[in-house]
Structures are given as structure tokens and as C-alpha cells.
Amino acid sequence: MRKTKLQITFLFLFFASSLTYAQMPGFEGDVDDETPAAPIDSLLAFGLLAGTAYGIRKIKK
């Protein structure tokens, strides 16, 4: 039962993440879209990986 809930949660999060990439078709006229966006720090991936490993470890205990 617990494994099934975990699998359902994982699938929900996996498919829901694709919705976060959706964008509106265009900008209004007053938006400055010529300025480059701020980069995402490369340590973010390591933080997500560490959080995932920590969560999996806590679930298995």
C-alpha cells in the first residue's frame, strides 16, 4: 500500500512538472524581453539531488 502511494505520487509529480514549462503565447507591449534572463545557479541541481537522496533515505527507514 505504501509503495503504491509512493508510485502514484511520483507519477503525479512527473507528469505535473510538464505543466510548469507552459508559457503564454506572447508578451504585452510594455515588457522588456530584450534583457537576458538571470541564470540558474549550477548548485541548484546538487541541492535537488541531495534533497532527493535524503528523502529516499528517510522513506526507507
The pLDDT confidence band at residue 26, using thresholds 50, 70 and 90, is low
pLDDT of 41 strictly over 60: yes
Residues 6+ away with beta carbon under 8 Å from 59: 6
pLDDT at position 17, please?
67
Q: Are 27 and 33 in contact (CB under 8 A)?
A: yes
d(C-alpha 37, C-alpha 39), whole Å: 6
Per-residue pLDDT at 18: 64
d(CA 45, CA 51): 10
Computed over every residue of the chain, the mean pLDDT equals: 79
Interval 5-22 mean pLDDT: 77
